[in-house]
Amino acid sequence: MARGKPYRDVWLGRVLSPDGPKDPTEKLILCAVSRFMDFHTGDGAWPSQSTLADMTELSVRTVGKKLRATKWLETYRAGKSGQGWRRHAYRAVDPLRGRLSAHADKVLSDD
């Protein structure tokens, strides 16, 4: 892969490859999540399950089930605690290579 290619593109290419998830519904949801990711890091995607359901024309229940089961995303809590807003956020993970780092594009381009 070309050096310096943004990680989100590298990750999405792997999701859509034969090595990616076998379930087409999971692939669809991962593509939808990727639209919210930081281009260079693959981090900081925080769409609601309802937003993802609207984008993919799936039920909220199906989206939630697939998000909990996928190995291609890491889920974490983002936002303020207490009375402020708080929601789940998603980070791109390549299950064959592990968690994303800030320099993942350099590491992955050495393949």
Cα–Cα distance for residue pair 55/16, rounded to 1 Å: 18
Interval 51-78 mean pLDDT: 94
Q: Which residues contact 38 (CB under 8 A, 6 or more apart)?
A: 8, 44, 45
pLDDT greater than 70 at residue 89: yes
Cα–Cα distance for residue pair 37/8, rounded to 1 Å: 7
pLDDT tens sequence across 1-60: 445 678 888 899 999 999 999 999 999 999 999 999 988 888 888 899 999 999 999 999
Q: 34, 21, 29: which is closest to 55 by C-alpha? A: 29
Cα–Cα distance for residue pair 79/98, rounded to 1 Å: 25
Can you spell out the DSSP letters for 10-42?
HHHHHHTSTTS-S-HHHHHHHHHHHTTS-TTTS
pLDDT greater than 50 at residue 103: no
Q: What is the reported pLDDT for 49? A: 94
Interval 78-97 mean pLDDT: 75
Q: What is the reported pLDDT for 107? A: 38
pLDDT grade, residue 73 (50/70/90)? very high
Cα–Cα distance for residue pair 82/76, rounded to 1 Å: 17
